[in-house]
Amino acid sequence: MSEDAERLLAGLTCRIAAQDAEGRWAMGNWFSDPLRRPGWLGDRGEDRYEKQLQGSGDQWVLRWNGFPYVEDVTASLTASPIGVSGAIARDTGTHFEVRLGSATLRLNAQRAPVQQESEGAS
């Protein structure tokens, strides 16, 4: 594992319960949404708790079902002042990537679309 990759992966564990002071994102210990945002995550029974980290050297992939939202993981690694110094994020349209130096952490979250409340609902 490269030093840059080690810093990114360590960043995940160090921020497991992190929450933005302005309420924009929260990690929720990887099992809940402390911000109680509308919407839902794909419920695949026990599979919703599946998490898998694979990689070597500078290339790593993290896949998971359930919480946290992929945008929250990305923010926890890149947002000032809590982010990993020098880390940058990119939304590819199908997944997010966080890069640090020569290392890339690909984030693949299995999430259902956010359910929109219908207008005029009581």
Tens-digit pLDDT string for the chain (122 aa):
999 999 999 999 999 999 999 999 999 998 888 998 876 555 555 555 688 999 999 999 999 988 898 999 999 999 999 999 999 999 998 899 999 999 999 999 876 544 444 444 44
What pTM, to 2 d.p., does this model score? 0.83
CB of 34 closer than 8 Å to CB of 68: no
Q: What is the pLDDT of residue 63?
A: 94
- Where are the chain's structural domains? 3-31+41-110
Q: What is the pLDDT of residue 118?
A: 40
CA 49 to CA 65: how far, in whole Å?
A: 6
CA 8 to CA 80: how far, in whole Å?
A: 15
Token code pair at residue 32: 């809940």
At CA 66, angle to CA 107 and CA 96, rounded to 5?
Answer: 15
Q: What is the pLDDT of residue 31?
A: 84
CA 1 to CA 120: how far, in whole Å?
A: 53
